[in-house]
Structure 1
Amino acid sequence: MYQPRRAPSHRWVNIRGLEYHISQWGDPSLVTAQRPPLLLCHGFMDIGASFQFLVDAMADHEGENRYILAMDWRGFGRTRGPATDAYWFPDYLADLDALLCCEALGLDGKRPVDLLGHSMGGNIVMNYAGVQPARVRRLVNLEGFGLPRAEASEAPSRMARWLNHLRHPRPLRTFAGVTGVKARLQENNPRLPDERALWLAHQWAEPGSDGQWHILADEAHKNINPLVYRVEEVLACWARITAPVLWVEGAESETSRWWGDRFPREEFEARLAVVGWLERHTLAGASHMLHHDQPDALARHLQAFLDLP
C-alpha cells in the first residue's frame, strides 16, 4: 500500500458551527510573503486526503518547506454535515471565507493566500477569488469546468426532481470490504495504480457496525440542486479575479461523459476568456483525476506558477 512521504497532521476547527477536518502539512512558521499558505480544495464526493500524492510530489521537488492545508468540505470525509437534507453552493464559499480567518491554523483573513481547487473545488475557488479578490495571491483551477448553461424553463422540473429526492432519499452504496472500495475508485479512474487506490480506499471509506464499508459522505449530497445554473452570475465573479490563474486539465478528460453535447468546448473556452491573467497546461496521461494520475508533472507546473515573482 502507498506510504505518504510527507504525512499530515490532523486538525478539527470550528467553522460556522461545524467541526471541520483539516489535513495539515507543515506549520505557519514556513509562511513568507513569497510563500503564503496553500489551501487545497477537493471536488464532489472526494476528500482532502485525495491531494496526498500531489503534496508528496511537491515535497520531492521543493522540499517540505511549504505550509499546506486541505479541508474536507461540509458533509464529506471527516467533516460532518449539518442536520439537513440539502446543501447549498454559497455555503462552501462562506466556509472557505471563515477558514481563511481561522487563527488556530495561523490564518488571519488579511494576508492573501494561494488557493487550489479540483473540479467542484475549482469552481468554488474561482467564484471566491472574484468575490474576495484581495484574499487570493495565486489561484489554481484543476478541471473546474463549471456546469452546462441552464435555461429558466428548466426550473420547474428541477424543483420537482429535488422534492422527489427529499421524499425518497437514496442511500450511498456500501461495500463488503476495503477491496470493494478500491475497485470502485478504480472503476471511476482506471489509471489509478493499485497501491494508491488501496491507500485512498482507507481514507474515502470506513467499516461500520454492520460489517460493511461506508463512504465518508452525507447521502444528502446525492440530491439534485433545485436551482438552475446561472452562467452570467458565474462569469461576473470570474471577471473580477485579480490573481494570476493557472488552469490545468487532463489530456484524456471527456466532458461529454458527464454532459453529452450540453456543454460544448467552445462555451467553456468563452468562459475562460473572461479571466484576466491565465496560464494553461494539459497533462498527458491524465484524465479528470489528474492529481492522482500525474502528481509529479502537476507538481512541477504548480511549483513554477506559485513561485512566479
Structure 2
Amino acid sequence: MNAFLDSRCEQLDIRGLRYNVRHWGTPDAPVVFFLHGWMDTSATFQFVVDALKQDWHVIAPDWRGYGESEWLRRPYWYPDYYGDLDALLAHYSPDRPARLVGHSMGAGISSAYAGVRPARVAQLVMMDFLGLTTTRPHEAPGHITRWLDSLQSDPPQRNYPDHDAFARRLLQVNPRLTAERAAFLAHTVSRTLPDGQVTMGGDPWHRVASPVRYQSDDALEAWRAIEAPVLLLLSDQGYVLKRFGETPDEIERRLACFANLQRVTVTDSGHNLQHDQPEQVAAALEAFLRRD
C-alpha cells in the first residue's frame, strides 16, 4: 500500500471567490507553486510530491470552479485565471518572484502570465503543454453559436455510484495507474453529491466551450516575453505530440519562442505525466528548480 504524504488545506478569498489552497511540506522550505489542469484538482500532484527528494513547500490551489474552491455554476471566463494567479502570488510570494509548475491548462495560464508579468516569475515548468492548435477567423461565428446554444440548459454531469466505481473508471482510461493511486484519486479529485454519488471535481460548466476562439499567435507572443528559465516536460505519448507530431516544424516554431528553454521527454507516459511517471517528473523538477 502506498504511503501518501499528508497535505493541509486553507480557504481564502481570492478576488471575491472562496479559494481552496493545498500545501505540502514545511512552511519555511523553498516555495514552489503547482498549478493543475482542466477538469482536475490540486491533489493531482500528490504522487510527484511523494517522489520529491528534497524539502519543498508546495502550494497548489484548486482553480475557481474546481475541487473545493467555489463553483460559479455558470460559464467561466478564461482571463479570470490570470487575475486569480496574480492575486495568489501577491498573497503567498509578495516580495520575490515565484517558481511556477503548471500542467496542461495550468501551464497555459502560467506561461502567459510569465510573459506579461516577467518580473514575478523566477522559473517556469510547463508539463505536456505547447498551446492548442491554430484556429481560423471563419470559425469564430460557430464558436459564438455553440456557446449561445449551450446556455439553454445546464451541461450534463457524469456521475458514478461510489468512489470504487470512479476508481475503476480511472483504471480503465489509464492502465498506467496502480489500484492504490486510482483509489486515492477517486477520493481526492472528485466531489460527493448529496445522494452519495460521485462526480469529477470540476464544475460541469467548464465543459462549455468559450465563445472566443483560441489564437495561438497571442500565446506565442507572450512566450517571447518570458525572462525566466523554462523547463518543458513532454510526455512521449501526450497531447503535445498528438496535436503536433505530424507537423514538427510547428513544434520547432513554438519552441523557438522561449529564450531560455530546457526540454525533457518523460517516457512511457500519457498526458497526465504526474500520474504516470511521477518519479521521472520529480527528478526533472529538482534538477531544474533552484533552491536559493
For this structure pair, what is the TM-score category when the shorter chain's length is used for normalisation?
over 0.9
Gaps of 5+ in 2: none
Match of 1:305 in 2: 288
How far apart are residue 110 of structure 1 and its match?
2.8
Name the amino acid aligned to 1:141.
M
Q: Paired residue for 1:130?
A: 115
**8 A Cα contact 1:121 1:144, kept in partner:** no
Name the counterpart of 1:34: none
Number of the residue aligned with 1:49: 43
Contact 1:189 1:289 in 2 (8 A): no
- Corresponding residue pairs, total: 292
Q: State whether residues 2 and 199 of structure 1, in contact with CA within 8 Å, keep that contact through their aligned partners in structure 2.
A: no
Q: Secondary structure at the match of 2:155?
A: coil
Q: TM-score, length-normalised on structure 1? A: 0.89
Aligned to 1:87, which of 69, 76, 79?
Answer: 76
Conserved? CA contact 1:2–1:195, under 8 Å: yes
Does residue 206 (structure 1) correspond to residue 191 (structure 2)? The answer is yes
Q: Which residue of 1 aligns with 2:128?
A: 143
* Counterpart amino acid of residue 256 in structure 2: A
- Give the match for residue 287 of structure 1: 270
Stretch of structure 1 that moved more, 242-251 or 160-169 = 160-169
Aligned-partner Cα distance in 2 for 1:255–1:301: 18
Q: AA paired with 2:57? A: Y
TM-score of the superposition, structure 2-length normalised?
Answer: 0.94
Alpha-carbon distance in structure 2 between the residues aligned to 1:270 and 1:186: 36
User: Where does 1:171-182 land on structure 2 (aligned, <5 Å)?
Assistant: 171-182=156-167
Which of 283, 293, 296 is equivalent to 2:279?
A: 296
Say if 1:22 and 1:71, in contact at 8 Å, map to a contact too.
Answer: yes
What is the aligned counterpart of 2:67 among 77, 96, 115? Answer: 77
CA distance 1:108–1:42, change in 2 (3 Å): closer
1:292, distance to aligned residue in structure 2 (A): 0.8
Whether the 8 Å contact between 2:244 and 2:250 is mirrored in structure 1 is no
CA positional deviation for 1:191: 1.1
Q: How far apart, in 2, do the equivalents of 1:237 and 1:206 lie?
A: 35
Match of 2:148 among 163, 187, 194: 163
Find the aligned partners of 2:79 and 2:192 in 1 and give their Cα distance. Answer: 32
Deviation at 1:111, TM superposition (A): 0.5
**In 1, Cα distance between equivalents of 2:177 and 2:255:** 29
Q: Do the aligned partners of 2:266 and 2:281 also contact (CA within 8 Å) in 1?
A: yes
1:267 to 250, 256, 271: 250
Question: Which letter does structure 1 place at the counterpart of 2:13?
Answer: N
1:266 match: secondary structure: helix
The structural deviation recorded for 1:113 is 1.0
Is the Cα contact below 8 Å between 1:244 and 1:278 reproduced in 2? Answer: yes
What residue identity is the alignment partner of 1:3? A
CA 1:133–1:260 in structure 2 vs 1: closer, same or farther (change >3 Å)? closer
**Residues 53-83 of structure 1, C-alpha deviations (whole Å, 9 max, x = no match):** 001101xx22xx211100100001111123x
Cα distance, 1:184 vs. partner? 2.4
* Residue 253 of structure 1: how far off its partner (Å): 2.0
The residue aligned with 1:224 is 209
CA distance in 2, matches of 1:69, 1:256: 29
CA RMSD of superposed structures (Å): 1.9
Structure 1 residues 215, 300: CA separation in 2 closer, same or farther (over 3 Å shift)? same
CA–CA distance in structure 1, aligned partners of residues 21 and 267 of structure 2: 31
Q: Secondary structure at the match of 1:30?
A: coil
Q: Does the C-alpha gap of structure 1 residues 225 and 2 become closer, same or farther in structure 2, counting only changes over 3 Å?
A: farther
Give distance in 2, aligned partners of 1:30 and 1:150. 43
C-alpha separation in 2, matches of 1:247 and 1:91? 24
Distance 1:255 1:232, change over 3 A: closer
**Identity fraction in percent:** 38
Determine the structure 2 residue equivalent to 1:15: 14
Equivalent position SS for 1:226:
coil
After superposition, the C-alpha distances for 1:140-174 in whole angstroms (9 at most, x for unaligned) are 00012211101111110110011111113322100
* CA–CA separation in structure 2 for the residues paired with 1:239 and 1:256: 22
Equivalent position to 1:40, from 34, 56, 67: 34
